[in-house]
Structure 1
Amino acid sequence: MAIDTATAYAPDTTSSSLAAVAKATGTRYLLALFVTLAGKPCAKLVPVEAIDQLVSDGAGFAGYAAGAMGQRPADPDLVAYPDPASFTPIPFVRPGLALVHCDPHVNGEPWPYAPRNILASVLRTADARGLTVNVGAEIEYFLVERDPGGALRTADAADTSRQPCYDARDVTRMYDHLTEISAAMNTLGWGNYASDHEDANGQFEQNFAYADAMTTADRVITARYLLSVIAEKRGMRATFMPKPFADRTGSGMHLHLSLWNSDGPTFPAADDARGLGLSPTAYSFIAGILEHACALQGVIAPTVNSYKRIGATSTSSGATWSPRYATYGGNDRTHYLRVPDHNRVELRGGDGSANPYLAIAATVAAGLDGIDRALDPGAPGGDHRRDTLPLTLLHAMEALAADPVLTGALDTVGPGVSDYFTDLKRDEFFAWHNTVSAWEIDNYLTAF
């Protein structure tokens, strides 16, 4: 179903405009959606007859029940107000269905623990400097199923080659899934320009055009939702877990970032002695991200499983594609920050479990700190920047808690969010650490 994207994404906050767009697209129900700090999508299904009420009163949620939202059972409702600019018809999921991203409030004030509110606040700090942040995101994922014994396996039983990346046959067998996702993205005006088989058996990626930072973060959440429900229609499960298979490459979420001002992009420079075609602004932005890389990992790689991707030494294909050091360089995918051209930098440290709002907010805050302090990243690929990234989620949380710039970014709407987040993730680490694994039984049961 084609839609007028100029109308669908018009930044109008009136209930009548949202109702008009819903009517124009044949929408009967809206998913009023927000995500938790852990990235869980939460929604209420709202009939179009209640759009006026949704816009004026919001959709009420018991925040504690939703998950990681900084609430206790006794706290007042979390009320999610829709952003009409994010209206997204999704009739390819269900006829007449649309989605709208929401900004959670409590007692009439933006809720500090809401990821979308955090990103909006950080973007306002960039805007105050006369800068617009544009972001592109690469979403990698696996298509899997469980065998009769419950073990995880690749959904395509024929996808077994040692180096399946870009294999035309593997892509063709998943033609129906990939083309349905591609058509959905292009119907929505996202500019899907390629779909491919990634480096691991069962791993795929669909690329779409960059946009402003908030739009891209919304689209990552929407894309994950679409990928999940469309895969389920075919009896598969789409997983964004960083490393579901020990012997295969993990799934990243690479972010391509650029800064723009009223004159256009700020990164390109005609005269660059370092040879990357970048401006001093770009180099300081890079330096800021490198300066805060260890703390940043706690936000862009926020699970126990993330560090099995980062720490992998080998895979069945022969490469991990996951950086282990905070370095930067040109068109070289082994770096933490790759500079594919003079218009952007690619952050390769994040993975499929990252909350896109928090990931972009923290990355932008780190880069702006580099600009504010006129930091210099040194020569591309310089060994003096070979800071080892955190080895585990616990190490990452220690680095994050000690970094005032990134904790400040998480606390930008209100205090306490960074402490809540780091405590939540430490608890996650110890819940995993306290679980006796099959590896321990195999290695220790009769060893002594």
Structure 2
Amino acid sequence: MDNDTVEEIKEKIERSGVEYLYYMVPTLRSRTVAKMVPAKHIVRNLDKGVNFTRNALMDFQNDVFGNPIGADIRSKEFVAMPEPDSFNQLPWDKSIGRIFCSTYEPDHLGEIAGRPNFHDSRAHMKRTHQLLKDHFGLTMKSGTEPEMVWVGESIKPNTIPGYNPAYQVEYLEGMRPIYKRVHEYANALGFDMIEGDYEDKGQIELNWNFDEIERTADRLVTYRQICSQVAREFDVEASFMPKPFIGEMGAGCHHNISLWDESGRNTFADAGVKDLHLSQVGRWVVGGIIKNAPAMMLIFASTVNSYKRFWDPGQFAPATADWGLDDRASMIRISSNGRAEVRVPDASVNPYLSHSLLAAAAADGIGNQIEPPEAGAKGVDLPRTLGDAVEAFRGNEFIRTALPPQLAETYLEMKENEWAQYCGALTQWEFDQYWQAIP
């Protein structure tokens, strides 16, 4: 890192008045871990980074037998190197700042010293995106639509039985203090907030403008932290659980993607065509996504609860690998010219992994000129449980190898274990069904 960059970020932090910095790294389970360091040590940390226990990227998850997944007590630490352009001052406490890090093997590990840490999903997404740019001259942009549920006495809606409260101004007004505070913090952190609506009981969706996938993924992770902070301030709960209530809308996180060439042209639309359509490049991208969709579900819908979205009919959750023109029943909806809305990712998604696979599937589609079926044609069924998604992921060599082998292996082990834990859990449904079923 050149001296000018070091001096620039040092001065920026000093001018901001930030006293402490969170050195942040996303985990595979879509959380973030961090070390807190006094801000005065920024120059030292730009040079040496900060060390983390390797298990941190797996959230210290153990399998059903109590064994650590992805790393153990003998595993070596990794080094997190801060990225100066990701520095932000937290608007709810201006003495605190945050900076994202990319992670590497430490210098003392011989032959692998300095290599990227294979479990770093954020860094992998950046590498995958760069490959797309290098091979095809195309940049992926994305806008996400994070839905979530807010619960608390002060915001409890009084709804009419049998009616959905979606879009009603009265219920949006009840959430006014919440969305205003979220917007305040998001705008202070560089978001361009554009619109929002009330979708179901306590569920709102607040959107910001689309951008290159690196910025969009970082903003989604930041948005979740903003919502958690706002919930603390208003003494309510904020949840990104994909399906908290049966009979009500699940919490999706649609990814609206497009590919832009080096001249700044959106390649998903044909110049001069006003009718709703998808260009040839866009069709190939959709073909690549549909071909690999069943295997990508382990990333898009990554929890046991994710699949409850697809078992609740009439709630706008697509269950087949298909596409359509402004068709909300489809997995991919061409909602306007130049944009493909991938509707299966949910609110718990790791946006670095999801965008990595979308970029890889796009490259597969373009490189192999994969034609999708006709718009509106019924596609193959998508996995309906986490266990099914594990097997689909395991059986798709292209998707497995689109991720670093160590990352794919660890992620697969984590999700197999999650499914095993769920299968071994007793639920109230089982007691209701079987407690007095015989005689």
Fold agreement, TM-score > 0.5: yes
In structure 2, distance between residues paired with 1:31 and 1:203: 30
Query: Amino acid of the residue matched to residue 286 of structure 2?
Result: I
Contact preservation (8 Å) 2:57, 2:119 = no
**2:365 aligned with 1:377, yes or no?**
no
Give me the TM-score of the superposition, normalised by structure 2.
0.91
Query: Amino acid of the residue matched to residue 222 of structure 2?
Result: T
Flag the 1:350–1:13 CA change in 2: closer, same or farther, 3 A: farther
CA-to-partner distance for each residue in 1:142-195, whole Å, 9 max, x for gaps? Answer: 1125xxxxxxxx762234343111121222122111111112222333210112
Find the partner of 2:348 among 349, 353, 357.
353
CA-to-partner distance for each residue in 1:298-323, whole Å, 9 max, x for gaps? Answer: 1110000000012222xxxxx31210
Residue of structure 2 equivalent to 1:328: 323
CA-to-partner distance for each residue in 1:117-165, whole Å, 9 max, x for gaps? Answer: 21012112111121111111111111125xxxxxxxx762234343111
**2:401 aligned with 1:443, yes or no?**
no
Find the partner of 2:409 among 400, 413, 419.
419
Query: Amino acid of the residue matched to residue 194 of structure 1?
Result: E
In structure 2, distance between residues paired with 1:429 and 1:258: 33
In structure 1, distance between residues paired with 2:20 and 2:171: 36
In structure 1, distance between residues paired with 2:157 and 2:368: 53
In structure 2, distance between residues paired with 1:59 and 1:430: 35
1:56-135 alignment, distance < 5 Å: 56-65=47-56, 67-68=58-59, 70-91=70-91, 93-107=92-106, 108-129=114-135, 130-135=137-142
Contact preservation (8 Å) 1:14, 1:55 = no
In structure 2, distance between residues paired with 1:16 and 1:440: 62
| SS of residue matched to 2:341 | strand
How many angstroms does 1:106 deviate by? 2.2
Question: Unmatched 5+ residue regions in structure 1?
Answer: 1-10, 146-153, 314-318
**2:15 aligned with 1:21, yes or no?**
no
Find the partner of 2:150 among 143, 149, 157.
143
Please provide the CA RMSD for this pair.
Answer: 2.0
Number of aligned residue pairs: give it. Answer: 417
Flag the 1:184–1:12 CA change in 2: closer, same or farther, 3 A: farther
Contact preservation (8 Å) 1:143, 1:155 = no
Query: Amino acid of the residue matched to residue 348 of structure 2?
Result: S
Query: Amino acid of the residue matched to residue 305 of structure 1?
Result: N
1:50-61 alignment, distance < 5 Å: 50-61=41-52
In structure 1, distance between residues paired with 2:57 and 2:356: 22
Contact preservation (8 Å) 2:79, 2:104 = yes
How many angstroms does 1:67 deviate by? 3.0
In structure 1, distance between residues paired with 2:247 and 2:389: 23
Question: Unmatched 5+ residue regions in structure 2?
Answer: 61-69, 107-113
In structure 1, distance between residues paired with 2:352 and 2:363: 16
Query: Amino acid of the residue matched to residue 401 of structure 1?
Result: R
In structure 2, distance between residues paired with 1:333 and 1:23: 49
Contact preservation (8 Å) 2:82, 2:101 = yes
Residue of structure 2 equivalent to 1:37: 28
Contact preservation (8 Å) 2:145, 2:253 = yes
In structure 2, distance between residues paired with 1:65 and 1:359: 20
Query: Amino acid of the residue matched to residue 160 of structure 1?
Result: T
Give me the TM-score of the superposition, normalised by structure 1.
0.89
In structure 2, distance between residues paired with 1:380 and 1:88: 43
CA-to-partner distance for each residue in 1:276-318, whole Å, 9 max, x for gaps? Answer: 33221110000100001111111110000000012222xxxxx
In structure 2, distance between residues paired with 1:66 and 1:119: 15
1:144-293 alignment, distance < 5 Å: 144-145=151-152, 156-161=155-160, 162-198=163-199, 200-263=200-263, 264-270=265-271, 276-293=276-293
Find the partner of 1:395 among 368, 388, 391.
388
In structure 1, distance between residues paired with 2:231 and 2:323: 36
